[in-house]
Amino acid sequence: MWLYALRRLLLTIPILLGVTIICFALVKLAPGDPIQNLVRPETPPEEVAKLRAYYGLDQPVVIQYFVWLWRVLCGDLGRSIANNALVSEEVVRAFLNTLNIALISVVIAFVASMALGIIAATRQGGAVDKLVTAIAVFGISVPTFWLAVVLVIFFAVNLNWLPATGMGADGSHGFNYFDWNDFKFAVMPIIALALPPLGIMTRTTRSALSEVLNQDFIQTLRAKGLSEGRIIVHAVRNIMPGATAMLGLQLGYLIGGSVLVETVFTWPGTGFLLNKAILTRDIPLLQGTILVLATVFVLINLVVDLAQSMIDPRIKRI
Amino acid sequence: MSVIPADSASLPAAQGAPATKVRGYWGSVWNRLRYDYVTLFCLGLIIVIILLAVFAPWLSPMDPEKSSMANRLRPIGYKKYLLGTDEQGRDMVSRLLWGGRVSLMMGILPVVFATLVGGMFGVVAGYYGGKVNMVIMRTMDIFFAFPSVLLAVAIAGSLGGGIGNQMLTLTVVLIPPICRVAETATSQVRALDFVDAARASGASTISILFSHVLINVLSPVLVYSSTLVSISIILASGLSFLGLGVSPPTADWGLMLSTLRQSIYVQPIVTALPGIAILITSIAFNLVSDGLRQAMDVKA
């Protein structure tokens, strides 16, 4: 177990290095001179020359990478072209906003998908099962930004129940998730984010559960006279390790893939930051945000793997 | 395509009964598909959508890029505008038909390119194993460190908008998962005795790869690729929505939704139309790939 944890931990290092290489390459992918992509256009030429040396852009590409990597490790992600703010500060502030709605969404999706999956797996082939499957297919196929727009049409335009965009008067500074006047801004983003993972997890839960329910030990439990409800408890315990792994993975996808939903609702998270970076071609902001999000995704995967090997005694990974 | 002994393997008794008609692999796949009405319906739907897109120049009642200041944001069924008009007074029916061309192309072409490239890398990695495998698959692992949406936004965001960049981005995003599936399938096939038998009988590596390995790897890879079409359509429309796709006057479902979003308070239903087109197409492709997977009996 500890050996596995250590190995898994060590395997993360080359992956993270690879992530930094890709993020570094993004600046090279962007058309034009890299330094022009990194500094504000009105910067005086002598300042540009100084920054060129600072970023090591006058040196071979390998050296450039290590110069950049060293700055990243020191917490320096550069400055945003749009407002000259520190990218690291912008990303951290936005990340907390994203994390909040992503966490709530994934928990809602998880609970709902377990309930739907159990209902469907115990009534296989019936009308309820078909309905659940339809919900799952809808969740998997729906473009989230369209869903977000439709939510706005219903709840903001037609019913006028919820605010269409933003995060309230105080923005992220005084946002209180336990105060309805603040939380109502988060309701639609949470719903729009929750539906795709709900679809995916419902489908996985249903198929995993129906597989377990066909196993011999369920027959034995039934023969022993256990009630169907108790049998379900046994079966659900069996699929729990896989389901929790799924939960972690989906959380990672939500954090990394929130750009469309946050753009529609102008929710000031990392996705909105990415959208801003794209619109203004703010390459340092784009690069920094992507680096942070990808790193978080890798770390979530690491935690998921470790947690799974801990809670599931059947997995013996060396 | 009859090389794969799918039926004869599962029914050894059939070999002793020459009178019964032995169905080939694809024959048995079709036999299973024939009674799967949901899949058949969706397949029909996809064919219709493709035909509508292909024949858009002849089917669309108006020029999709011709704007009319007098007829902006008309409701569904207004005069000759069957589905209303957009924020520049352009006919929605024509724009949806023309937009389907771009959106379908963005769903299918990147998957085809990624299947060719990713499949090749996967087969090479799986067949040669060892160092070759390590280099290819560890490189792919790095791409798996990004959620697909994030990777797409990263690449397209740096490259900038445009249809070529969008196609390139989607292809790069789809290569790693296809490569992984191809690698797994190839290394499983490679371990089977008939590959050793072919090598022992003097077959060259190229001929083993093409006539023995590839044909057995094909069905899991194709089934997997088919699941990616819907993902590719959604990713592409998402990129267009963010302004990283086709440039404005051109119609594209994602871009249409993005520009119409400003008019949500005026014509909410017209605003929702391009998304409905994306949703229907994506559901159809998803259900067909589900049906194919079941019919071809490939584990997800």
pLDDT in tens, A59-109: 777 777 777 778 778 777 777 776 777 777 788 888 888 888 888 999 999
CATH number of the CATH domain containing B267: 1.10.3720.10
Q: How far apart are CA B256 and CA B95, in angstroms?
A: 8
Question: Could you tell me where the DSSP H helices lie in chain A?
Answer: 2-29, 34-38, 45-54, 61-73, 87-122, 127-141, 144-151, 180-213, 216-223, 228-256, 259-265, 270-279, 283-311
Distance from CA of A76 to the nearest CA of B (A): 19
Q: Which residues of B touch A275 (CB under 8 A)?
A: 242
A19·B264 Cβ contact <8 A: no
A30·B230 Cβ contact <8 A: no
A197 Cβ contact partners less than 8 Å away, ≥ 6 residues apart: A105, A106, A109, A110, A113, A139, A250, A253, A254
CA proximity to B180, closest of B126, B129, B111, B227:
B126
Q: Are B23 and B31 in contact (CB under 8 A)?
A: yes
CATH number of the CATH domain containing A297: 1.10.3720.10
Task: Among A50, A73, A96, give the residue marking a domain's end.
Answer: A73
Are A114 and A261 part of one and the same domain?
yes
DSSP helix/strand/coil, A31: coil
Q: How many domains does chain B have?
A: 1
Dihedral sign computed on CA atoms, order B119, B124, B129, B134: negative
pLDDT band at A171 (very low <50, low <70, confident <90, very high): low
Are A43 and A92 part of one and the same domain?
no
Closest by Cβ to B242, choosing from A150, A278, A290: A278
Q: Is residue A131 part of a domain?
A: yes
Q: How far apart are CA B278 and CA A144, in angstroms?
A: 11
pLDDT at B7 over 50: no
Nearest residue on chain A to B234, alpha-carbon basis: A143
Other beta carbons less than 10 A from residue B154's beta carbon: 27
Are A184 and A67 part of one and the same domain?
no
Q: Is residue B157 part of a domain?
A: yes
pLDDT in tens, B108-140: 899 999 999 998 898 888 888 788 888 888 888
Are A14 and A106 part of one and the same domain?
no
Please compute the mean of the pLDDT values over residues B148-176 and round it to a whole number.
88
Are A294 and A206 part of one and the same domain?
yes
Distance from CA of B236 to the nearest CA of A (A): 10
Q: Is residue B74 part of a domain?
A: no
Please compute the mean of the pLDDT values over residues B239-259 and round it to a whole number.
80
DSSP helix/strand/coil, A86: strand
Q: How far apart are CA A254 and CA A271, in angstroms?
A: 10
Nearest residue on chain B to A261, alpha-carbon basis: B238
Q: Report the pLDDT value the prediction gives residue A174, as an integer from 0 to 100.
A: 64
Task: Among A42, A73, A104, give the residue marking a domain's end.
Answer: A73
Q: Report the pLDDT value the prediction gives residue B15, as an integer from 0 to 100.
A: 44
Are A128 and A187 part of one and the same domain?
yes
Q: How many domains does chain A have?
A: 2
Ranges A193-207, B80-94, B191-205, B267-281, most confident:
A193-207
Q: Report the pLDDT value the prediction gives residue A110, as an integer from 0 to 100.
A: 92
DSSP helix/strand/coil, A257: coil
pLDDT at B259 over 70: yes
Which of B158, B239, B282 is the best mutation test for A, with the most CBs of A within 10 A?
A: B158
Tokens of A135: 């919900």
Q: Between A and B, how many CB-CB pairs are < 8 A?
A: 141
Q: Is residue A24 part of a domain?
A: yes
Residue span of the structural domain in which A226 resides:
87-311
Dihedral sign computed on CA atoms, order B141, B147, B151, B152: positive
HEC string of chain B equals CCCCCHHHHHCHHHHHCCCCCCCCHHHHHHHHHCCCHHHHHHHHHHHHHHHHHHCHHHHCCCCCCCCCHHHCCCCCCECCECCCECCCCCEHHHHHHHHHHHHHHHHHHHHHHHHHHHHHHHHHHHHHCHHHHHHHHHHHHHHCCCCHHHHHHHHHHHHCCCHHHHHHHHHHHHHHHHHHHHHHHHHHHHCCHHHHHHHHCCCCHHHHHHHHHHHHHHHHHHHHHHHHHHHHHHHHHHHHHCCCCCCCCCCCHHHHHHHHHHHCCCCHHHHHHHHHHHHHHHHHHHHHHHHHHHHHCCCC
| A289-293, B10-14, B85-89, B194-198, range with the lowest pLDDT | B10-14
Q: Which residues of A touch B274 (CB under 8 A)?
A: 146
B22 CB within 8 Å of a chain A CB: no
pLDDT band at B73 (very low <50, low <70, confident <90, very high): low
B267 CB within 8 Å of a chain A CB: no
B264 CB within 8 Å of a chain A CB: yes
Which of B37, B96, B142 is the best mutation test for A, with the most CBs of A within 10 A?
A: B142
Q: Is residue B274 part of a domain?
A: yes
Q: Which residues of B touch A157 (CB under 8 A)?
A: 264-265, 268
Q: What's the mean per-residue pLDDT of chain B? A: 79
Are A58 and A118 part of one and the same domain?
no
Q: How far apart are CA B213 and CA A81, in angstroms?
A: 52
Tokens of A24: 């570094």
Check: pTM over 0.90? Answer yes or no.
Answer: no
| A50-59, A232-241, B160-169, range with the lowest pLDDT | A50-59
Are A66 and A123 part of one and the same domain?
no
Are A94 and A228 part of one and the same domain?
yes
Percentage of chain A modeled with pLDDT above 70: 87
Tokens of B261: 């979003």
Distance from CA of A3 to the nearest CA of B (A): 21
B9 CB within 8 Å of a chain A CB: no
Are A126 and A240 part of one and the same domain?
yes
HEC string of A123-161 equals CCCCHHHHHHHHHHHHHHHCCHHHHHHHHHHHHHHHCCC
Are A28 and A118 part of one and the same domain?
no
Are A165 and A51 part of one and the same domain?
no
Distance from CA of A242 to the nearest CA of B (A): 15
Task: Among A45, A73, A101, give the residue marking a domain's end.
Answer: A73
The values of phi and psi at residue B91, to 5°, are -65, 125
Per-residue CA distances from B78 to B73, B81, B91, B92, B270 (Å): 10, 5, 10, 11, 12
Q: Are B194 and B212 in contact (CB under 8 A)?
A: yes
Residue reference for tokens 């910067």: A43
Q: How far apart are CA B77 and CA B156, in angstroms?
A: 37
Q: How far apart are CA A45 and CA B219, in angstroms?
A: 58
